[in-house]
Amino acid sequence: MARIGFVGLGNMGAPMARNLIKAGHEVSAFDLAPGAIDGVPGARRAASAADAAQGAEVVVTMLPASQHVRDAWLGAGGMMAAAGPGALLIDCSTIDVTAARDVAAASGGRDFLDAPVSGGVMGAEAGTLTFMVGGSDAAFARAKPVLEAMGRTIVHCGGPGAGQAAKLCNNMMLAATMAVTCEAFVLAEKLGLSHQALFDVTSKSSAQSWALTTYCPVPGPVPGSPANRDYKPGFSAALMTKDLGLAQQSAKDAGVATPFGAHALDLYRRFLEAGGGTKDFSGVIEMIREGKA
Ligand code: NAD
- The pLDDT tens digits for 204-233 are 999 999 999 999 999 999 999 999 999 999
Question: 100 CB under 6 A from ligand 1?
Answer: no
In 3D space, the residue among 66, 46, 39, 34 whose CA is nearest the CA of residue 6 turns out to be: 46
Question: 10 CB under 6 A from ligand 1?
Answer: yes
Contact criterion met (CB below 8 Å) for 53 and 78: no
Question: Which atom of ligand 1 is found nearest the CA of 234?
Answer: 40
**Distance (Å) from CA 196 to ligand 1 centroid:** 33
pLDDT (0 to 100) of residue 39: 97
In 3D space, the residue among 245, 243, 235 whose CA is nearest the CA of residue 278 turns out to be: 235
pLDDT (0 to 100) of residue 55: 97
pLDDT digit string, tens, across residues 140-197: 999 999 999 999 999 999 999 999 999 999 999 999 999 999 999 999 999 999 999 9
Question: Residue 25 and residue 27: Cα distance in Å, rounded?
Answer: 6
The pair phi, psi for residue 97, each rounded to 5°, is: -60, -40
Question: 293 CB under 6 A from ligand 1?
Answer: no
Q: How many CB atoms neighbour CB 180 within 10 A?
A: 15
Residue nearest atom 13 in ligand 1 by C-alpha distance: 8
pLDDT (0 to 100) of residue 77: 84
* SS3 of residue 186 by DSSP: helix
Residue 24 burial (10 A CB sphere; 0-12, 13-18, 19+):
exposed
Structural domains of the chain in order of their starting residue, each with its CATH number: 3-159 (3.40.50.720), 165-289 (1.10.1040.10)
Question: Residue 134 and residue 165: Cα distance in Å, rounded?
Answer: 9
**Distance (Å) from CA 4 to ligand 1 centroid:** 18
Residue nearest atom 30 in ligand 1 by C-alpha distance: 93
- What residues are annotated to the active site? 167
Contact criterion met (CB below 8 Å) for 237 and 267: no
Question: Residue 129 and residue 147: Cα distance in Å, rounded?
Answer: 9
pTM attached to this predicted model: 0.92
Length of the chain in terms of residues written: 293
Question: 11 CB under 6 A from ligand 1?
Answer: yes
Sign of CA dihedral 53, 59, 60, 64: positive
Question: 62 CB under 6 A from ligand 1?
Answer: yes
Q: Which helix (H) or strand (E) segment is 142 a member of?
A: helix 137-147
- β-partners of residue 93 are none
**Distance (Å) from CA 13 to ligand 1 centroid:** 7
pLDDT (0 to 100) of residue 35: 96
Query: On the CB side of 188, how many CA atoms lie within 13 Å of its CA?
Result: 19
**Distance (Å) from CA 273 to ligand 1 centroid:** 21
> In terms of DSSP bridges, do strands 58-61 and 3-7 run parallel, antiparallel, or are they unpaired?
parallel
**Distance (Å) from CA 110 to ligand 1 centroid:** 24
Question: 281 CB under 6 A from ligand 1?
Answer: no
Question: Residue 74 and residue 79: Cα distance in Å, rounded?
Answer: 7
